[in-house]
Amino acid sequence: MCMYCRNSELKAATTTHVVSFGNCVIIIKNVPCEECTQCGEKYYSDETAERLEQLVNAAKKIMQEISVIDYRKVA
């Protein structure tokens, strides 16, 4: 169930996760998620959220101005 609009229908989808860190932007594309069919809110599984945290932490260490990561290639 969607926490925002209370719609009960979610569908499998992919999204782009963007994190701003200081002067850096970290973009992770093709992230698997569940998407509300009514409002479009995205939800990550616990496993995906944990992997995103690992990827963001690794990208922070590189400290490039922009980092683009393809989730499918590193998950």
pLDDT band at 3 (very low <50, low <70, confident <90, very high): very high
Q: What is the pLDDT of residue 22?
A: 84
Tell me which long-range contacts 15-19 makes (C-beta under 8 A, separation of at least 24).
15/42, 17/52, 17/71, 19/56
pLDDT digits (tens, 9 = 90+) for 10-49: 999 999 999 998 888 999 999 999 999 999 999 999 999 9
- Position 38, amino acid: Q
Output the pTM of the full model. Answer: 0.84
